[in-house]
Amino acid sequence: MAKTIRLDIVTPEKMAFSTEVSMVIARTTAGDIGILPGHAPLIAALAIWPLRIITDGEEILISMCGGFIEVQPEKITILANCAELPEEIDVERAETAKARAENHLRDNNSDVARAEVALKRAMVRLRVAEHKKQHRM
């Protein structure tokens, strides 16, 4: 059996995800990193981007909205404000959030930084949901 590494995704609400995986690809604020079992200890800040998890040649996407990744040789811990498995994503809500954020961006009076973050989050969710749909077909 291929070597695996333990992945825990912790959010303030719950332990979102906890399983053995063979590889994790995450986008940090400095760029993508791939983590295989036995990786050197590392701490990095994550960008708002889907997390790719590869287990036995299969790939799952998890939508994340920022956070941190802590890597130890046998264990990866991800601290995120939110993390959603593809089947947990409320596509409709993400669509409305996206539309709302875009509106805010057009409107000069609103908080641009906040709207941008909201837009990014919505895009990530939609992307993950889309990815899942494609794989099912």
Partner 1 sequence: MPNAQDIRRRIKSVKNIEQITKAMKMVAAARLRRAQEKAAASLPYTQKVREVLASVASHASDLSHPLLEVREVKNIAYLVLSADKGLAGAYSSNVIKEVLPRIAGKENSSVIAVGRKARDYFKRRGFRIDEEFTGFSEKPTLQHAINIARSVGEGFKSGRYDEIHLVYTVFHSAITQKATSVKLLPIEDMTGADANPSDYIFEPSAEEVLSHLVPQYLETTIYGALLQASASELGARMTAMGSATDNAEELIAKLILNYNKIRQATITREISEIVGGAEALK
Q: Is 63 in the site for partner 1 (CB under 8 A)?
A: no
Q: Which two tokens stand for residue 124?
A: 């990530």
Question: Binders of partner 1 among 2-41, rule CB under 8 A?
Answer: 10-15, 28-30, 33, 40-41
Least Å distance, CB 14 to partner 1, is 5
CB-nearer residue toward partner 1: 16 or 23: 16
Task: Find the binder of partner 1 among 3, 38, 43, 88 (CB under 8 A).
Answer: 43
Report the C-alpha gap between 128 and 93 in whole angstroms: 14
The sign of the CA dihedral 23, 48, 60, 20 is: positive
Least Å distance, CB 135 to partner 1, is 29
Q: Could you tell me where the DSSP H helices lie in the chain?
A: 91-106, 112-136
